[in-house]
Amino acid sequence: MNAAQDAAASYRGPTDPPADAVLPERHPDAPQPGKGLGTHYAQCFGCGEERPEGLHLHVRAGEGVSVTAEFEVAPGHQGAPGLIHGGLLATAFDEVMGAVSWMLHVPAVTGRLETDYVKPVPVGRTVHFSAWCVGRAGRKLYHRAEARLDGPQGLLVARAAALFVAVKLEHFTSNGRAEEVQAVLEDPQTYRSLKAFELNP
């Protein structure tokens, strides 16, 4: 093998777990398989119930460090006529892979998100997602996801891979707009989700 072949053989893309990554175990307090995770924040575009224009994704715990979710493609989600906007599909992937970190009780944010669009997705159909963790190396969490049409075994329409980075509570308190951050800190409902992440402001 020459030097170039050697480098190619050892190349790992930014969303591939490095050789020293470990497969993390689900947190002992993570919800049982099939149980809903609930929203992490009522104003979240992906899962919040107080955002009428949002995706209203209902995420459920899966086996191990995995989740499933689905949402119906609405007219407000269009890019081309009658077809979903690709960015919204990426948003949904971001949300469901974000929820995978929840199964670990690790607060984490997206560092990198890659999406393969495999088939067009029409309005009025239901997209079923599954997402799972493929490794952890220090603060870096590596997740994968799939989207299928009309059922968990339906036509594969998109795939995604992501690198999430574990962060401290300060990531949110120091960077978020003060009025929303303050509202969250004063809202006991949100304290429950803070507890899930073992964050005590």
Ligand X SMILES: CCCCCCCC/C=C\CCCCCCCC(=O)SCCNC(=O)CCNC(=O)[C@H](O)C(C)(C)COP(=O)(O)OP(=O)(O)OC[C@H]1O[C@@H](n2cnc3c(N)ncnc32)[C@H](O)[C@@H]1OP(=O)(O)O
CB contact at 8 A, 75 and 85: no
Distance (Å) of CA 32 to CA 106, 163, 180? 17, 25, 31
Sites for ligand X among residues 139-198 (CB under 6 A): 139-140, 163, 165, 167, 169, 172-173, 181, 184-185, 194, 197
Provide the minimum distance between the beta carbon of 64 and ligand X in the complex, in angstroms, as a whole number: 20
CB contact at 8 A, 140 and 165: yes
Sites for ligand X among residues 1-20 (CB under 6 A): 14
User: Quick one: DSSP state of residue 80?
Assistant: S
DSSP annotation string for 2-51:
-HHHHHHHH---TTSPPTT-B-PPPPTTSPPTT-B---S-TT-TTT-TT-
CB contact at 8 A, 135 and 22: yes
Choose between 123 and 166: whose C-beta lies nearer to ligand X: 166
Choose between 119 and 139: whose C-beta lies nearer to ligand X: 139
Choose between 121 and 131: whose C-beta lies nearer to ligand X: 131
Sites for ligand X among residues 37-66 (CB under 6 A): 40
# residues near ligand X by CB under 6 A: 24
Choose between 98 and 135: whose C-beta lies nearer to ligand X: 98
160: tokens are: 């995604």
Question: Taking the CB of residue 200, how many other CB atoms lie within 10 A of it?
Answer: 8
Binding mask 77-116 toward ligand X (x if CB under 6 A, else -) reads -----------------xx--x--------x-xxxx----
- For the beta sheet containing 126-137, the strands, ordered from the edge strand earlier in sequence to the opposite edge, are 58-61, 66-72, 126-137, 140-149, 156-166, 108-117
Choose between 150 and 180: whose C-beta lies nearer to ligand X: 180
Provide the minimum distance between the beta carbon of 124 and ligand X in the complex, in angstroms, as a whole number: 26
Contact with ligand X (CB under 6 A): which of 138, 170, 189, 192? 138
Residues near ligand X (CB under 6 A): 14, 40, 94-95, 98, 107, 109-112, 138-140, 163, 165, 167, 169, 172-173, 181, 184-185, 194, 197
